[in-house]
Amino acid sequence: MDISYKLELLKDVSADETGFERILGKLLDNILSQQRLRVKRYESDLQEFENRYGLDSATFYQRFEAGEMGDSMDYFEWAGLYELYQKAQDKIRRLE
């Protein structure tokens, strides 16, 4: 069953348009809450790197992408975590 079929089915079995919108709204609110929790975890993990290296994540990421930071595994982990954080922040902006 593909997604568009599932959405149409949900719309068809909902009592009315308002019910369908309410269901979708609750689903999106749930996803927004999950993304906010994810961002909090990412912020905590990013803070550990920032404290360890004395550099904020945005500055680190710019320097890392420019090839100025070296090839430490910590740096790759930090960069990946920062990218996940940015993606989660983008999802939150889109959902709000």
Domain around 20: 3-95
pTM over 0.85: no
Cβ partners under 8 Å of residue 20, min gap 6:
10, 11, 14
pLDDT of residue 17: 82
- What DSSP letter does each residue of 18-81 carry, written as one string? HHHHHHHHHHHHHHHHHHHHHHHHHHHHHHHHHHHHTS-HHHHHHHHHTT-S---HHHHHHHHH
Walk along the chain (96 residues) in steps of 10 and give the mean pLDDT of each run: 86 83 92 97 98 98 96 97 98 95
If one counts the domains in the chain, the total is 1
8 A C-beta contact, residue 56 and residue 50: yes
